[in-house]
Amino acid sequence: MQIHDLRAPRGSRKRRKIVGRGKGSGHGKTSGKGHKGQKARSGRGILNSLEGGQIPLIRRLPKIGFRSKRPTLYQVVKLEKLAQFKDGSIVDGNALKEKRIIKSLFRPYKVLGNGEIKKALTVKAYSFSKSAAEKIEKAGGRVETVDRSTFKSAEATNKE
């Protein structure tokens, strides 16, 4: 077999359907749309969500849950990342930003209990998971929760 003997497999190269070009084409007159009716007309077709007078599915299902338009999106601080700090140091927003553990001081951060910690640190954060707080205190450290109102006042002073 040589290159000039190669052919595309049968059915792999299909011709585009050309409609509305006379009776002889097989797709003339109504262009394969049948006679009259909503589906034969031009413009947008029938929407899938319309159910012809029946109460739509979206209205038959009960309303559940709630999603805030402004959810509190915490920056995540893993416990294993706090091992970078020296024993007995105070870990707050500025220290975390300096070590590039958090990106912004204007968004709250939460300490999660991923990993282990063996140093006694004083950790100041907006929120802690239960396991993170237990592990920090077990290592001889302290957990201090920063008030959200101080976060908002710091944000206001820096914007001025």
Q: Model confidence over 31-63: pLDDT tens digits?
A: 999 999 989 999 998 888 899 999 999 999 999
Find the CATH number of the domain harbouring 129. Answer: 3.100.10.10
Query: pLDDT at position 72, please?
Result: 87
Query: Domain residues for 147?
Result: 75-151
Nearest C-alpha neighbor of 146 from the set 95, 101, 98: 95
Q: Is residue 159 part of a domain?
A: no
Residue 157 falls within a domain, yes or no?
A: no
Quick: pLDDT tens for 63-112: 999 999 998 899 999 999 999 999 999 999 999 999 999 999 999 999 99
Considering the domain boundaries, does residue 88 fall inside one?
Answer: yes
What is the domain count for the chain? 1
What is the pLDDT, as a whole number, of residue 148? 74
What CA–CA distance (Å, rounded) separates 107 from 151? 8
Q: How confident is the model at residue 152 (pLDDT cuts 50, 70, 90)?
A: low
112-139 b/e with 16+ CB inside 10 Å = b? bbeeebebebebbbbbbeeebbebbeeb
When pLDDT is cut at 50, 70 and 90, the band that residue 147 belongs to is confident
Does the predicted TM-score (pTM) go above 0.85?
Answer: no
**pLDDT at 155 > cutoff 70:** no
For residue 89, tell me if it sits in a domain: yes
